[in-house]
Amino acid sequence: MTQNFINQEVADFNVNAYQNGDLKQVTKQDILGKWSVFFFYPADFTFVCPTELGDLADHYAEFQNANTEIYSVSEDSEFVHKAWAEATDTIAKIQYPMLADPAGKLARFFDVLDEEAGQAYRAVFIVDPEGKIQSYTINNMGIGRNAEEILRTLEAAQFVAEHGDQVCPANWHPGEETITPSLDLVGKL
């Protein structure tokens, strides 16, 4: 049975991470006060994962301009993240924190751990500054994701959070027209 995560608050956590050549800890307290993207992927030193993480790295400044931190998460340790960054140019350019979840605590909370494989499915969770999940997608292992669509979804979530009386139509981007729900629009869109 699938769990609905919308508006669920992220549980307390404390994990090790690798970021820009340093090892650090990341806690729930670190995600509060700004938007967060939890980007789960199966494993370091694989095939689809570096293409996705590199895509996010290429768009990192745009996420930061949107007051958002990206947290990539796999079941690898922070030491494996460091070794991967030192071995691979694509991963070396990553500036966001790479969270280590070898015990699977985050993956289990977000219900994305494939217990048999010991790996997380490809999942994206967009979390608001209060620590509540506003959007999520979960893909099977072989289905890569697109940073631009994650950013677009984030920006729509931010707009709706700020303008609760308006909603964002399909393919909406900042600056484009939104919709103010009303009975007058029923059957006319």
Tell me the C-alpha to C-alpha distance, in Å, between residue 45 and each of 20, 33, 59, 99, 176.
18, 33, 21, 15, 40
Token pair belonging to 83: 């070794």
Output the pLDDT for position 141.
Answer: 93
How many CB atoms within 10 Å of residue 8?
A: 16
Q: Strand 113-114 vs strand 119-120: parallel, antiparallel, or unpaired?
A: antiparallel
pLDDT score at 143? 96
Q: Is 158 helix (H, G, I), strand (E, B) or coil?
A: helix
The rounded distance, in Å, linking the Cα atoms of 121 and 105 is 14
Supply the pLDDT for residue 180: 82
Check 10, 31, 49, 157 and give the catalytic one. 49
Give pLDDT, residue 179: 80
Q: CA-to-CA distance for 90 and 69, rounded, in angstroms? A: 19
Other CB atoms within 10 Å distance of the CB of residue 4: 8
DSSP string covering 102-124, please? TT-HHHHHTT-EETTTTEE-EEE
pLDDT of residue 1: 47
Complete domains list, the chain, with CATH: 14-146 (3.40.30.10)
In terms of Cα–Cα distance, which of 170, 20, 155 is closest to 81?
Answer: 20
**168 a catalytic residue:** no
Residue 179 tokens read as: 């919709």
- The pLDDT profile of the chain, 189 residues, written as one tens digit per residue, is 467 999 999 999 999 999 999 999 999 999 999 999 999 999 999 999 999 999 999 999 999 999 999 999 999 999 999 999 999 999 999 999 999 999 999 999 999 999 999 999 999 999 999 999 999 999 999 999 999 999 999 999 999 999 988 888 889 999 888 888 776 666 666
The reply to whether the predicted model has a pTM over 0.85 is: yes
